[in-house]
Amino acid sequence: MNPTNVVVAVVVVAAAVAVATVLRRRQQVAPPTQAGGFRAPAQVDRGDFDRPDAPWLVAVFSSATCHTCADVARKAAVLASDDVAVQDVEYGAATELHRRYAIEAVPIVVVADRDGVVHKAFAGPVTATDLWAAVAEARQPGTTPEPGLGDDGRSG
């Protein structure tokens, strides 16, 4: 190979490396997936829900197309009493509430007091025992052996 060809080859390789470096720096890296879809609100307006005068609210944000939601709503319904209002907030029937509280995934269960402060929340499936214990703990702290139940789905 003659020296001119070597110089041309080196220049071409150097140019290719430079172009590749510039393109790589310009390429935007997608941000990591953000948590947020399974986040419960920290506060609700009790006026948005059934029986705002009840001392406690258990709201199940759900969708008619979600089989897990139906199971969670069924488990929550058993908690209804004079002191506990239970409401299934189904997306098709209450789209505006889902938007207002930034509910992006279902099921999400919130346990809120008379002022709308969310004391406990669950995102995703929940056992009846865990749901019932979390409501009992919210209503009367120190009554269950696992006081942290229902703290995972709360926004922070």
The model's pLDDT over 23-71, given as tens digits with 9 standing for 90+, comes to 677 665 554 444 445 788 999 999 999 999 999 999 999 999 999 999 9
Strands (E), the chain: 56-62, 84-90, 108-113, 118-123
What is the pTM assigned to this prediction? 0.71
Handedness of CA 128, 88, 48, 123 (dihedral sign): positive
Q: What is the DSSP string of 41-82?
A: -SB--GGGSS-TTSSEEEEEEE-TT-HHHHHHHHHHHTT-SS
User: 150: phi > 0 → left, psi -120 to 50 → alpha, else beta; which?
Assistant: left
- In which order are the strands placed within the sheet that holds 84-90? 84-90, 56-62, 108-113, 118-123
**C-alpha to C-alpha distance for 104 and 36, rounded to whole angstroms:** 8
> According to the model, what pLDDT value does residue 151 have?
65
Q: Which CATH number, 3.40.30.10, 2.70.98.60, 3.30.43.10, 1.10.274.10, labels domain 46-139?
A: 3.40.30.10
**C-alpha to C-alpha distance for 119 and 133, rounded to whole angstroms:** 13
